[in-house]
Amino acid sequence: MDVDTAGATARKNAFEPNKNIVFLLGAGASVAHGPPLMAGFMIAAFDRYYSLKQAVANPSEQPTREFLKSYAKMFGFRDKCRRTLWAIDRDWDNIEELYTQADLLRLVEHRGDEITEQEQLCNHIASVIWDIYRGANPNPFMSKMLDKVREGGGAPVIVTTNYDLIVENAIKDAKQHWYYPGFALGGTSGLWTLAKDTHKPVPLKTARAEATTSLPIIKLHGSVNWFRMEDGWFADEEIAVYQQKVAFADVNRSIYQRWRQLTNRTPADPESTAIHFHPAIIPPMLGKAKHNQLFAQQWAAAIDAIRRASQIIVIGYSFPSTDAFMSRLLTEALSEQQDFRRLTVVDTVEPEKHGIHGLLATRLRTKQFRYVRQMAEYVVPQLSSREFDNWEQILK
């Protein structure tokens, strides 16, 4: 695939006005396919940690030992935070709470380019999150649901807080294509690089369709196939690499080889895979300032998509207090809306307890809002089997 510069020039913006159907996906949209909810993260992490320990046949295998160290560091920080429960009632098993607390300490101890102990802690936590959320299975109904939108004349856009690759795998299995706004494919290496000159999406050519039919996937908190290195930020299109059954050392080697190809680096040791990369897993609140270039491009793309949306369908996202940025994003995006028709929330939480409840003004809540108390694993297949014009029968 090559960068579609002609297509980007021909369109003033990657998103068509009034046709966007924005799907805002949270953890509830993925949980049936492997990734845990944030509140259940620690249980999954303990299971994964002990399975990794048992799988280590050679104790001197450095990548695995270093990887296990990340789990140990995260568990140790959790235990430290839990010692405050006598005074402060927080759910330290919720990884968003834990990561945000670690990021607060990182900001307090920030010393320019110096890598502090808290910076290392954040890197360890990001590595564990990366490992847990790369264990996901594709949702075959996802691509079919998006096809229904296109057949009905709409333009689907994914905005997600999830790190997993469930949507990407579904699109790939359907032999379709996606792109990440703000990233451009770097040569033939299979790595996308973060665009330096603009936040606007850089669509990619596809084998069977124009770039306008490629699905934009906007990932507000990062992704398990995004990472940062000394040269900047990268996204990897070889998503098969990011599965739990693929050993960390093999993931490391795959990234290293393609990074060398992209940057024309020749290591002193041709067999060396000693690369230092960190998953681009962004804390839900404070750390967005640190990752400002990456996050700003996702933020800008999400705002632009929602401004041009006729509908927003929220699936499995509860607007938690740990992500104050989401309400700000909606506020900014809807402030210039010209043709907004409906906001639909699909979740299992009781309507009056859902985080969206306190955000909506009376007009939108009474005339343009629907709450569907249902699990995503049931709603998505239903939507994938109905014509887009008939979705109202399901989302009511």
pTM here is: 0.86
CA distance 230 to 228: 7
* DSSP letter for each residue of 8-69: HHH-SSSS-TTTEEEEEE-GGGTGGGSPPPGGGHHHHHHHHHHHHHHH-S-TT-HHHHHHHH
Side chain identity, residue 200:
K
More confident call, 219 vs 296: 219
- How high is the pLDDT of residue 172? 87
Domain boundary assignment for the chain: 5-34+138-240+278-393, 38-133
More confident call, 273 vs 239: 239
Answer CATH for 5-34+138-240+278-393 from 3.30.470.20, 2.60.40.10, 3.40.50.1220, 3.40.50.2020: 3.40.50.1220
Structure confidence by residue, pLDDT tens digits, 146-188: 999 999 999 999 999 999 999 999 998 888 888 888 887 665 5
pLDDT surpassing 50 at residue 209: no
Q: Sort 74 into a burial class: Cβ within 10 Å, 0-12 / 13-18 / 19+.
A: buried
Closest CA to 252 of 282, 237, 223, 272: 272
- How high is the pLDDT of residue 347? 92
What average pLDDT does the chain have?
79
- How high is the pLDDT of residue 237? 82
8-state DSSP, 268: S
Mean pLDDT value across residues 220-235: 82
Structure confidence by residue, pLDDT tens digits, 3-49: 343 333 333 345 555 678 999 999 999 999 989 988 889 999 999 99
More confident call, 352 vs 286: 352
SS3 124: helix
Half-sphere exposure at residue 169, Cβ-oriented, CA atoms within 13 angstroms: 21
CA distance 306 to 312: 7
